[in-house]
A and B are shown apart, each in its own frame.
Chain A
Amino acid sequence: MTKKLWATFALISLGTSAAAQDSNSLSIDGEAMVTEIAAPSHMENVDTIYSGWRFRSVETQALEMDDFDNPAFVFVEQAEDLWDKVDGAAGKACSSCHEDVADFAGLRTQLPRVDDGELVTMENLINECRTERMEAEPWKWSKGNMTAMTALIGVQSRGMPMNVAIDGDAAPFWEKGKELYYTRVGQLDMACSNCHEDNYGMMIRADHLSQGQVNGFPTYRLKNAKLNSIHGRFKGCMKNIRATPFKEGGDEFKALELYLASRGQGLSVETPSVRN
């Protein structure tokens, strides 16, 4: 068979249109969420961005529409207790310095961000408070107390549009994250883009491929019945393609988090979301 004919077959398979996202609209306890919006101009290959919520089953979607049904709120309540709990040599709790957690409205939309030349995520900010001000042990990146606290602080921004800075100081981190997004790794030799840009909307066996948006993290997954951090999810993806994951909290995953957050500019923060 000639090369030309092979190429024709390749084009036919590429041309298959995606089953795509559904057309449901999300409101949580009556507040409307933006789950679809024009892609930011830096995205060259995608016209419209969608929240992962749009790719889930009706049953899973329903769990996020009412905080009473959303299993993640068990953990948010645990974090409310942690908020007032004194820990560390300085004898302080979060509430010793921060009067009201609601003051953090908007923070989730801007993270990760560059502080003093370093890219920081919400986990970094929490641990900086713990070690510097409370003189307490840092929390592990994806453990329960950390994901509970990122959920509590994140939910204060729920409904607000994602809006991370990608220029200025952030530019080199963003570029690095973009490069990682398009770099193939693992024995299966795949990049994030192969599934989440080229094939979102398709079924990969029983899973409906989403755009890999991070606007709902930490996310409660039915699969493991707990809150999952962004970096923990990256790790899972990398293992699926038989790649050695980068370190949670390391430079690579922080850069990738910034890049992915920027691919979701304008989507509502859904923290804490529910996924499968």
Chain B
Amino acid sequence: MKRALILTLCTAFGATAVAAGDVKPADVVYEDGVVNASLTGQAGDATNGRKVFANRKQGNCLACHANSDMPEEGFHGEVGPMMDGVGERWTEAELRGIVSNSKMVFEGTIMPAFYIDSGYERPLDKFAGQSILSAQQVEDIIAYLMTLKDS
């Protein structure tokens, strides 16, 4: 009972609560790992996506991926591939699939799925039933990644 109430509150006030009109995490359609439809129906904001990419409490992508576009940030990770030129290597729909749930493409990857709200075990209560990022944050990150071109 108490846990159910906490869950309700988390869902109501959590940063990643699903906004009306967003595709819910469970309803995202993957075709060979690719997600063609926008999660929000709106264009992503690349400027905000850049912030979400670096923010340790949001995407924290920099923990694993080095990114030459962020020389102002120290300590780029090296667990995953570099982000330089990622906007040329992948299409927007492919990136949407990788960010939302990379396990649909890369079996056994260490990379967390950023847009699922179930299927993981023993989450801390405050994260239970939630995705790491909101639909808008995923779209913002994709918009940012699409700006990362070689040359």
Contacts and interface: CB of A to CB of B under 8 A. Distances in A.
B112 A190 contact: yes
Interface in A6-21: 6, 9-10, 12-13, 16, 19
Contacts, number: 89
Contact of A188 (B34, B62, B77, B112): B112
A57 interface: no
A205 B124 contact: no
A36 B112 CA distance: 31
A188 B132 contact: yes
Given A10-B109, A187-B112, A198-B110, A204 B64 contact: yes
B63 interface: yes
A203 B123 contact: no
Interface of B: 32-34, 56, 60, 62-64, 74-81, 89-91, 94, 105-106, 109-110, 112-113, 119-125, 127, 130, 132
Interface residues of A, number: 31
A186 B123 contact: yes
A97 interface: no
B92 to A, nearest CB: 12
A189 interface: yes
A209 B75 CA distance: 13
B122 A244 contact: yes
B78 A203 contact: yes
A269 to B, nearest CB: 30
Nearest to B128: A187
Given A10-B106, A194-B110, A199-B79, A184 B120 contact: yes
A185 B121 contact: yes
Task: Say what secondary structure dominates the interface of chain A.
Answer: loop
A189 B106 contact: no
Nearest to A243: B122
A205 B123 contact: no
A202 B123 contact: no
Contacts of A209: 79
A206 B78 contact: no
Contact of A205 (B32, B77, B89, B130): B77
A198 B119 CA distance: 22
A150 to B, nearest CB: 27
A205 B120 contact: no
Given A6-B105, A10-B109, A204-B63, A242 B123 contact: yes
Contacts of B79: 199, 202-204, 209
A205 B63 contact: yes
A242 B148 CA distance: 30
A195 interface: yes
Contacts of A204: 63-64, 77, 79
A140 interface: no
